């Protein structure tokens, strides 16, 4: 592997994800800092806005040189490249202005010891506008070399919408981990509780996003190989899938370790140093595996980033993912893991039902903190089902992924899991004592959680019947 | 390969016992750590009006 780019296209692919998807994560941290009114976190966000502003330079230069190189390629549309260039230029200009304003505010803090709230709100507004422009630019950029997105849907057995979703989703856990790690290390050094909690939340979100990322990747494999797309190698995809499976479990371990610390913090009002460093170790390892996964994924459809010295795999049956596919198809492995999957759903739904019913007004004699103790049971159920669900998926992925209810099921898993995070974080809900009603917002989330997990179980059971 | 019903049932029991055993062991120790800290009075709970 060569993680250090050796071509302008490779540089552009790598650098451009930080001012776009990274900006979204930074916005999340910035909004948290503004809501929590955490001065240190605000300043760190300003520093990172400035860093992203500076990244506009390598992004522009690498993009400009890539255009020069790719303009000789007959398969590349010049019209698309020009549109991407115009939107990209607007996005980078907005990014530079945001970064400059952030630097000005940092200077003001250095000079007068305070930052202006109005200026911070202006940075937020500019960053949101920049992100909007980045989305438009990124969308046009992806279409430049991903010709499969323009294939006639009538000729496809598996929709290319999966490929499109995968190329967007797969950047979130990796780039998210980079930003989360930056904030996390600073939080550990400065012992900043708000920043630590915010970062643990991002680790959990990255873990949850690992599921739709892996599933959309599995579907993309079918979309790109059945029927085959010229230039796409199944052997290369399998190498990527092997690493993706490791990344998925790394994200799950990181996410669960982070969530357990958030849950414990609620009851103990302090963190355990040992647990925080365990989360750090999981996150660093997962980022390393995720970076390699991303690199191998990029090589599937970007011949321009391959080097003459790269040894490309040729055996489409090599690797442990095809081996797991063979193994899990034996009834003696499939039936036990399917049984475990049903136990997982029982744990998730039972826990969600008990907690949501309290939030909705049942068992008012119990304070919310009492039912909060049940949450780990549901989270362990999610872990069981991520592991067993991936094994079941590998048994017959083409059939599952093309079932009408599978995509809604995975979308609802993501929504349901993120909504459950609310129960771990809400200050107002935590303060609901015996005999008190939960806030109306919490009741809406409880209803959403119940609908989502009911939909997940129903969607799963209907696979193969509708 | 054809597996007998007994082999499949034994496999189901083994896998389920292992997975649920690990889950409940994890839950037990997680709750124990919170119970111990709460009982020692080192923390304040929501019932004390501290959020």
Q: At how many degrees (to 10) do helices B5-39 and A331-360 cross?
A: 40
* pTM beyond 0.90, yes or no: yes
Kindly tell me the burial class for residue A453, based on how many C-beta atoms sit within 10 Å of its own C-beta (0-12, 13-18, 19 or more).
Answer: buried
Interface touch A384/B19, C-beta < 8 Å:
yes
Residues of chain B contacting residue A433, judged by C-beta atoms under 8 Å apart: 46-47, 49
Can you give the pLDDT at residue B48? 41
Residue for token pair 């904030």: A183
Quote the tokens at residue B21.
């055993």
Q: Measured between CB atoms, does B18 come within 8 Å of chain A?
A: no
Q: Measured between CB atoms, does A427 come within 8 Å of chain B?
A: yes
Q: Measured between CB atoms, does B31 come within 8 Å of chain A?
A: yes
Residues A326 and A214 in one domain: no
Residue A212 within a domain: yes
Residue A152 within a domain: no
Cβ-contact A67, A10 below 8 angstroms: no
Confidence category of residue A62, pLDDT binned at 50, 70, 90? very high
Q: If we measure between CA atoms, which residue out of A302, A223, A338 comes closest to residue B19?
A: A338
What mean pLDDT comes out for the span A105-126?
93
Residues of chain A contacting residue B25, judged by C-beta atoms under 8 Å apart: none
**Is A114 or B44 the better-scoring residue by pLDDT?**
A114
Alpha helices per DSSP H over A114-192: 117-145, 161-169, 171-190
Interface touch B14/A336, C-beta < 8 Å:
yes
Cβ-contact A148, A229 below 8 angstroms: yes
Chain B residue with minimum CA distance to A366: B47
> Cα torsion for A297, A299, A303, A304, to the nearest 10°?
100
Kindly tell me the burial class for residue A193, based on how many C-beta atoms sit within 10 Å of its own C-beta (0-12, 13-18, 19 or more).
Answer: middle
**Is A216 or A301 the better-scoring residue by pLDDT?**
A216
Residues A424 and A441 in one domain: yes
Can you give the pLDDT at residue A49? 97
Residues A213 and A353 in one domain: no
Residues A173 and A290 in one domain: yes
Shortest Cα distance, chain A CAs vs residue B51, angstroms: 6
Interface touch B8/A368, C-beta < 8 Å:
no
**Is B34 or A241 the better-scoring residue by pLDDT?**
A241
Residues A11 and A78 in one domain: yes
What mean pLDDT comes out for the span A210-224?
93
Cβ-contact A159, A223 below 8 angstroms: yes
Chain B residue with minimum CA distance to A375: B27
Q: Give me the phi and psi of A201, to 5 degrees please.
A: -60, -45
Q: How far apart are CA A350 and CA A335, in angstroms?
A: 22
Residues of chain A contacting residue B38, judged by C-beta atoms under 8 Å apart: 267-268
Can you give the pLDDT at residue A3? 63
Residues A121 and A225 in one domain: no
What mean pLDDT comes out for the span A456-462?
93
Residue A283 within a domain: yes
How many CB atoms lie under 10 A from the CB of residue A354? 17
Shortest Cα distance, chain A CAs vs residue B48, angstroms: 9
Close Cβ partners of A452 (under 8 Å, ≥ 6 residues apart)? A412, A413, A415, A416, A419
Residue A372 within a domain: yes
Kindly tell me the burial class for residue A54, based on how many C-beta atoms sit within 10 Å of its own C-beta (0-12, 13-18, 19 or more).
Answer: middle
Q: Which of A31-45, A213-227, A243-257, B35-49 has the lowest mean pLDDT?
A: B35-49
Domain boundary among A310, A343, A374: A310
Query: Percentage of residues in chain A with pLDDT exceeding 90?
Result: 74
Helix, strand or coil for residue A170?
A: coil
Residues A217 and A341 in one domain: no
Confidence category of residue A37, pLDDT binned at 50, 70, 90? very high
Residues of chain A contacting residue B39, judged by C-beta atoms under 8 Å apart: none
Residue for token pair 């059945």: A226
Q: How far apart are CA A173 and CA A381, in angstroms?
A: 22
Q: What is the largest CA-CA distance in chain A?
A: 73
Quote the tokens at residue A448.
């959403």
For residue A422, the enclosing domain spans 319-466
Residues A213 and A248 in one domain: yes
Measured CA distances, A11 to A143, A217, A277, A447 (Å) = 18, 23, 32, 45
Q: ∠ at Cα A444 (A443, A450), nearest 5°?
A: 90
A134 has pLDDT over 50: yes
Q: Measured between CB atoms, does A274 come within 8 Å of chain B?
A: no
Chain A residue with minimum CA distance to B51: A431
In chain A, how many domains are there? 3
Quote the tokens at residue A456.
């997940």
Q: What is the mean pLDDT of chain A?
A: 92
**Is B38 or A330 the better-scoring residue by pLDDT?**
A330
Confidence category of residue A147, pLDDT binned at 50, 70, 90? confident
Residues A399 and A306 in one domain: no
Residue A150 within a domain: no
Confidence category of residue A420, pLDDT binned at 50, 70, 90? confident
Residues of chain A contacting residue B12, judged by C-beta atoms under 8 Å apart: 335-336, 339
Interface with B, mutate which of A36, A266, A267 (most B CBs under 10 A): A267
- B1-51 pLDDT, tens digit each: 677 889 989 999 999 999 999 999 999 988 888 888 777 654 444 444 443
Interface of A with B in 365-394 (CB under 8 A): 367-369, 373, 376-377, 380-381, 384, 388
Shortest Cα distance, chain A CAs vs residue B17, angstroms: 9
What mean pLDDT comes out for the span A188-207?
96
User: What is the DSSP code string of A362-377?
Assistant: SSTTS-HHHHHTTHHH
Measured CA distances, B32 to A270, A404, A424 (Å) = 16, 44, 19
Interface touch A333/B16, C-beta < 8 Å:
no
Confidence category of residue A138, pLDDT binned at 50, 70, 90? very high
Task: Identify which of B15, B38, B46 has the shortest CB distance to residue A336.
Answer: B15
Q: How far apart are CA A201 and CA A259, in angstroms?
A: 7
Residues A227 and A338 in one domain: no
Q: Half-sphere exposure of A393 toward its Cβ, with a 13 Å CA cutoff?
A: 25
Can you give the pLDDT at residue B40? 66
Question: Which residues are registered as beta bridge partners of A225?
Answer: A228
Residue A153 within a domain: no
Shortest Cα distance, chain B CAs vs residue A402, angstroms: 28
What mean pLDDT comes out for the span A66-72?
85
Interface with A, mutate which of B3, B5, B23, B39 (most A CBs under 10 A): B23
Q: Measured between CB atoms, does B7 come within 8 Å of chain A?
A: yes
Q: How far apart are CA A299 and CA A69, in angstroms?
A: 18
Residues A2 and A134 in one domain: yes
Interface touch B15/A340, C-beta < 8 Å:
yes
Residues A336 and A242 in one domain: no
Q: How far apart are CA B35 and CA A227, in angstroms?
A: 57
Question: Quick check: bond before A227 cis, omega within 30?
Answer: yes
- A270-314 pLDDT, tens digit each: 899 999 999 999 999 999 999 999 999 988 888 777 777 777 888
Q: How far apart are CA A359 and CA A352, in angstroms?
A: 10
Residue A151 within a domain: no
Confidence category of residue A2, pLDDT binned at 50, 70, 90? low
Cβ-contact A133, A91 below 8 angstroms: yes
Interface touch A330/B1, C-beta < 8 Å:
yes
Interface touch B37/A343, C-beta < 8 Å:
no
Domain boundary among A79, A111, A145: A145
Helix, strand or coil for residue B41?
A: coil
Confidence category of residue A90, pLDDT binned at 50, 70, 90? very high
Quote the tokens at residue A101.
């304003």
Strands, E, within A254-304: which ranges? none
Interface touch A267/B38, C-beta < 8 Å:
yes
Cβ-contact A90, A132 below 8 angstroms: no
- A337-383 pLDDT, tens digit each: 999 999 999 999 999 999 999 999 999 999 999 999 999 999 999 99
Residue A426 within a domain: yes
Domain boundary among A82, A115, A145: A145
């Amino acid at each position: 592997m060569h993680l250090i780019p050796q071509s302008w296209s490779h540089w552009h692919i790598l650098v451009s994800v930080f001012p776009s998807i990274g900006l979204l994560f930074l916005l999340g941290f910035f909004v948290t800092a503004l809501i929590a009114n955490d001065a240190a976190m605000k300043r760190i966000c300003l520093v990172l806005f400035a860093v992203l502003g500076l990244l506009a330079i390598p992004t522009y230069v690498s993009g400009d040189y890539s255009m020069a190189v790719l303009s000789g390629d007959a398969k590349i549309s010049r019209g698309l490249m020009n549109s991407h260039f115009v939107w990209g230029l607007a996005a980078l200009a907005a990014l530079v202005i945001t970064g400059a304003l952030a630097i000005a505010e940092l200077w003001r803090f250095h000079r007068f010891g305070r930052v202006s709230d109005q200026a911070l709100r202006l940075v937020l507004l500019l960053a949101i506008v920049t992100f909007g422009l980045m989305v438009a630019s990124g969308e046009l950029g992806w279409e430049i070399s991903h010709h499969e997105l323009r294939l006639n849907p009538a000729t496809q057995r598996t929709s290319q919408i999966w490929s499109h979703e995968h190329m967007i989703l797969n950047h979130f856990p990796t780039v998210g981990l980079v930003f989360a790690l930056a904030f996390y290390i600073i939080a550990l050094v400065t012992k900043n509780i708000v920043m630590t909690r915010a970062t643990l939340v991002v680790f959990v979100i990255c873990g949850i996003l690992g599921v739709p990322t892996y599933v959309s990747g599995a579907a993309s494999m079918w979309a790109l190989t059945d029927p085959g797309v010229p230039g796409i190698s199944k052997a290369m995809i399998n190498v990527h899938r092997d690493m993706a499976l490791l990344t998925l479990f790394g994200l799950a371990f990181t996410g669960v370790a982070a969530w357990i610390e958030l849950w414990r913090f609620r009851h103990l009002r302090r963190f355990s140093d040992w647990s925080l460093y365990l989360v750090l170790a999981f996150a660093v390892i997962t980022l390393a595996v995720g970076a390699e996964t991303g690199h191998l994924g990029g090589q599937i459809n970007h011949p321009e980033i391959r080097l003459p010295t790269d040894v490309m795999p040729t055996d489409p049956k090599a690797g442990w993912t095809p081996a797991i596919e063979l193994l899990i198809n034996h009834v003696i492995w499939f039936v036990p893991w399917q049984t475990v999957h049903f136990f997982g759903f029982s744990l998730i739904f039972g826990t969600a039902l008990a907690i949501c019913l309290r939030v909705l007004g049942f068992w008012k004699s119990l304070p919310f903190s009492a039912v909060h103790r049940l949450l780990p049971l549901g989270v362990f159920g999610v872990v069981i089902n991520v592991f067993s669900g991936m094994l079941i998926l590998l048994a017959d992925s083409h059939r599952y992924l093309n079932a009408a209810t599978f995509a809604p099921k995975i979308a609802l898993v993501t929504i349901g899991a993120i909504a459950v995070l609310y129960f771990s974080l809400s200050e107002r809900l935590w303060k609901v004592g015996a005999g008190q009603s939960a806030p109306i917002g919490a009741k809406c989330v409880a209803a959403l959680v119940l609908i989502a997990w009911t939909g997940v179980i129903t969607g799963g059971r209907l696979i193969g019947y509708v | 390969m054809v597996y007998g019903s007994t082999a499949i049932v034994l496999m189901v029991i083994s896998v389920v016992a292992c997975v649920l055993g690990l889950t409940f062991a994890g839950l037990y120790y997680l709750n124990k750590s919170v119970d111990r800290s709460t009982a020692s009075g080192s923390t304040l709970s929501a019932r004390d009006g501290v959020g």
